[in-house]
Amino acid sequence: MRILFMGTPDIASGCLERLYNEGFEIAGAVCREDKPKGRGHKMMAPPVKMFAQGKNIPVYQPNTFKDNAFLPVLEETKPDIIVVVAYGKILPKYVLDYPKYGCINMHASKLPKYRGAAPIQWAIINGETETAATVMKMDEGLDTGDILVERIIKIGEYETAGELFDRMMCEGAQALCETIKNIDKIKAKKQEGNPVYAPMITRETAHIDWKDDCGKICRLICGMNPAPIAYTYYKGEAVKILSAKKSEEQGGVPGEIIRVGKDGMLVSAGSGAVLIKTVRFPGKKTMEIGEYIRGNSIETGEVLS
């Protein structure tokens, strides 16, 4: 079976690698355009492109799908199925209808929950205890297609988005392999329940509101790690917070630093308190609080904003 793979970031690259290692015929890899990164704004290829080039898989980076613009790629690669993982663009009907077995998508949620751009982050932020690697038959809607395979994944209390991404990549790759191998036998099922949407994460999403309860704040910190990283303001400067734990201790006003020690920095929340463990102050590297205070001071009584 000839596969045209469409995806862009690390999670997609990991799935492509698994399909390649399983011996599936990869006719081509489609990804988004190269983007400038770093201080020098050097153009960087997305992970899917880098993997594909390393395996001599043809790479395509279309600017548009309008007016049958992608048809020449389809006619060149002649896919039996198109596999999509975090590609980042809506596919038009002529693409969806082209392959014999259509297009399948591995989506990182238990559908219909968390349709959209950031399902892993929002599942953590909202306190879900489980999610899923779901392979669905694609249609013209946003993650609305029928479900082919679903692999449930439990979410740990302090699991970060980065950790869940890694596990999702493994489970999602397995789900794709299972789907493709059994594509003639699987009976698709309709999505059931009320849809929940997972909009794109912005920098403002990561801004901590200390009036929230301690659990909600800790979930935000986990959901924003490794990017864009939750942050607050200490004496007017943005401080990034990478890890924290809930505490039942009560303190002053929300955001007030109650105490600072080797075990962390305790900050009052709307309910309970948050023990901040790992931070990145402006101009500093990422450090545990205990390490940071060996050469720097943090004033108790200061209110984070």
CATH code of domain 204-292: 3.10.25.10
pLDDT digits (tens, 9 = 90+) for 63-83: 999 999 999 999 999 999 999
| pLDDT for res 37 | 81
3-state SS class at 60: strand
| pLDDT for res 250 | 80
Sign of CA dihedral 172, 176, 177, 183: positive
Helix (H) or strand (E) holding 149: strand 147-154
CATH topology of domain 2-198: Rossmann fold (3.40.50)
Is the distance from CB of 221 to CB of 229 less than 8 angstroms? no
Is the distance from CB of 233 to CB of 266 less than 8 angstroms? no
* Matching residue, tokens 């992970």: 47
Is the distance from CB of 120 to CB of 164 less than 8 angstroms? yes
| pLDDT for res 181 | 97
Antiparallel, parallel or unpaired: β 287-288 and 273-280: antiparallel
pLDDT digits (tens, 9 = 90+) for 83-112: 999 998 999 999 999 999 999 999 999 999
pTM of the full predicted structure? 0.94
Domain ranges, ordered by start, for the chain: 2-198, 204-292
Share of the chain above pLDDT 70, in %: 100
| pLDDT for res 42 | 85
What is the rounded distance in angstroms from the CA atom of residue 228 to the CA atom of residue 108? 19
How many Cα neighbours within 13 Å face the side chain of 176?
32
Sites in the chain below the pLDDT cut of 50: none
